Amino acid sequence: MEATSVEAWSPVDFFDTVVAHETALWGRVDAAVVRACGVRLGSLSALRVIASRGDRCRVQDLTVDLQITVGAASKIVDRLEGAGLAQRRPHVSDRRSSVITATEAGRNTVAEGLAAMEVALGEHLQGTDAAQLTAMTGQLTQLTRSARCRDGGVAVAAHLPGDLAIGAVTARVSA
């Protein structure tokens, strides 16, 4: 259902519009990333978080930054490790925990994936006014922060637009 005027707006219209756009955008960017580097967008999103944290990333960081469960984060790290894109090693001061780092192949995958994302997003957003995109990004970021603070007291992720450019899209865990 598409709202045709400001007067016709409703929360359901907003939800339907955001979800429809997110689904189409995810599919387009995911396909571009798979063609470029052979990993799904959800895996690339996790790998970006890992790479951005250097040698300080834990599974819990993935759960917060990507808004996924500990089980999903652990499985995605297993897949990344199996593909040679990430590695776990014991945490130096907490034997119960491990630190996840991107391998050289993982860092190369991030670079290739980001390049593919830039092209796909550029094509998708071609002709859209930059000021409108900036305003929408700000509004969606604020909605995301508000929801994260409101829902279960989850700490607001440090990596919203600007750092990882994951933005308001919740990363899906996929092989």
pLDDT tens for 17-41 read 999 999 999 999 999 999 999 999 9
Structural domain boundaries in the chain = 9-150
| Mean pLDDT computed over 139-152 | 83
- The total number of residues shown for the chain amounts to 175
Query: Token pair of 19, please?
Result: 């979800």
- Between 70-82 and 41-52, two packed helices, what is the crossing angle to 10 degrees? 90
What is the CATH T-level fold of the domain 9-150, as seen in this structure?
Arc Repressor Mutant, subunit A (1.10.10)
The pLDDT mean for the chain works out to 84
pLDDT at 62 over 90: yes
Q: Pick 153 or 143 by higher pLDDT.
A: 143
| Mean pLDDT computed over 127-149 | 90
Backbone φ and ψ of 58, nearest 5°: -120, 165
Residue range 94-122, pLDDT digits in tens: 878 899 999 999 999 999 999 999 999 99
